């Protein structure tokens, strides 16, 4: 699905990714974890072509992404901070994104699911953080792409929306899609993900299932397993 070979990226002198090799197979939910500044977002943005790597090759669905834009038709991306043009209405934004990609009717169901009808005619600049995130989720899930990338999808969501989001993720998984998630909410990661990838200082420290991680670190629960990696490496 996604294969990354020897990916290097630095911003000025700050080395963010230092030789990442990663293969993500088709189907299932993968969580990319790591402390702040470990390069999670940079990794995801490299897959999306928003960050240009200094070195390395990335293939998405068998296509090399260098100087390519059409492969993004097969990716749905949920950005970390929902920044939208503030003078646009929600309805107009949804229409515009559909116009830029492909037409779909899935947005109607999603709008109902997240109870966004009263906000359709409001401008995006006047929405609260959580509501913006819901719009963000609709824009991501309304297309039917084989690869879904979610960068901190839970930010600002209320408990009901969080449950809906989890259901939505499971639903997409059952269609055989590949889902890539980053999150700092460990309970969320533990609940949804099949496999985790742990990034530390620009390299992949661990890749495998949660039970493998627990065994490796000798910790009874997931949160402590992650914490033990961090304390062992920073002490």
Partner 1 sequence: MLKILKYSFYDLMRSRWSYVYFAFYLLLGIVLLFLNNDLSKAVITLMNVIIVIVPLIGTIFGVMYYYNSKEFTELLLAQPLKRSSIFLGQYLGVAISLSMSLILGLGLPFVFYGLFKSNAIWDFSLLLVTGTFLTFIFTALAFNIALSNENKIKGFGYAILLWLFLAIIYDGLFLMSLILFEDYPLDKLSLFGTMLNPIDLSRTLILLKLDISALLGYTGAVFKKFFGTDFGLILSLLMLTVWVILPVLRITHKSKKKDF
> Which residues, listed in sequence order, are joined to residue 196 by a DSSP beta bridge?
31, 208
What sign results for the dihedral spanned by CA atoms 72, 74, 78, 82? positive
Among 73, 126, 209, 231, binds partner 1 (CB under 8 A): 73
| CA contacts within 13 A on the Cβ side of 70 | 2
Query: How far apart are alpha carbons 131 and 157 in whole angstroms?
Result: 8
Binding range to partner 1, per CB under 8 A, among 18-26, 68-76, 109-117, 205-213: 68-76
User: What 3 state SS string does 194-213 have?
Assistant: CEEEEEECCEEEEEECHHHH
Size of the site for partner 1 (CB under 8 A): 27
Is position 70 an interface residue for partner 1 (rule: CB under 8 A)?
A: yes
Minimum CB distance to partner 1 smaller for 58 or for 210: 58
Minimum distance from CB of 50 to partner 1 (Å)?
5
Which listed residue (14, 62, 100, 220) binds partner 1 by CB under 8 A?
100
Q: Which is nearer to partner 1, 53 or 196 (CB)?
A: 53
Closest CA to 3 of 178, 170, 194: 178
34-53 binders of partner 1 (CB under 8 A): 45, 48-52
75-94 positions binding partner 1, by CB under 8 A = 75, 77, 79, 83-88
Determine the distance from the C-alpha atom of residue 21 to the mean position of all C-alpha atoms in its chain, rounded to a whole number. Answer: 18
Q: Which stretch binds partner 1 (CB under 8 A): 71-79, 154-162, 173-181, 224-232?
A: 71-79
CA distance 47 to 231: 29
Which residue among 32, 34, 72, 222 contacts partner 1 (CB under 8 A)?
72
H or E element, residue 54: none
* Beta-bridge mates of residue 73: none
**Cβ closest to partner 1, residue 76 vs residue 172:** 76
* CB closer to partner 1 out of 46 and 210: 46
Q: Are 29 and 194 in contact (CB under 8 A)?
A: yes
Distance of alpha carbon 186 from alpha carbon 50, whole angstroms: 27
Interface residue with partner 1, options 36, 69, 174, 218 (CB under 8 A): 69
How many angstroms from the chain centroid is the CA of residue 111? 21
Of 51 and 162, the one with the shorter C-beta distance to partner 1 is 51
Instruction: List the one residue from 61, 97, 186, 227 that touches partner 1 (CB under 8 A).
Output: 97
Interface contacts to partner 1, rule CB under 8 A: 11, 45, 48-52, 67, 69-73, 75, 77, 79, 83-88, 96-97, 99-101
């Amino acid at each position: 699905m996604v294969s990354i070979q020897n990916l290097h990226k630095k911003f000025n002198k700050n080395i963010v990714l230092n030789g990442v090799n990663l293969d993500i197979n088709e189907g299932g939910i993968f969580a990319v974890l790591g402390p702040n500044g470990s390069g999670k977002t940079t990794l995801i943005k490299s897959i999306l072509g928003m960050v240009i790597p200094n070195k390395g090759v990335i293939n998405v669905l068998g296509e090399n992404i260098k100087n390519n834009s059409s492969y993004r038709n097969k990716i749905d991306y949920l950005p970390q901070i929902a920044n939208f043009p503030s003078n646009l209405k929600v309805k107009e934004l949804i229409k515009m994104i559909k116009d830029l990609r492909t037409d779909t009717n899935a947005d109607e169901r999603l709008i109902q699911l997240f109870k966004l009808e009263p906000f359709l005619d409001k401008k995006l600049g006047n929405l609260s953080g959580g509501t913006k995130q819901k719009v963000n989720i609709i824009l991501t899930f309304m297309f039917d792409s084989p690869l879904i990338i979610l960068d901190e999808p839970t930010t600002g969501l209320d408990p009901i929306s969080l449950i809906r989001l989890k259901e939505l993720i499971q639903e997409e998984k059952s269609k055989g899609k590949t889902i890539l998630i980053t999150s700092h909410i460990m309970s969320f990661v533990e609940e949804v993900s099949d496999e985790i990838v742990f990034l530390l200082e620009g390299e992949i420290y661990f890749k495998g299932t949660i039970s493998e991680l627990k065994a490796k670190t000798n910790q009874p629960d997931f949160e402590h397993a992650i914490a033990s990696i961090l304390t062992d490496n920073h002490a």
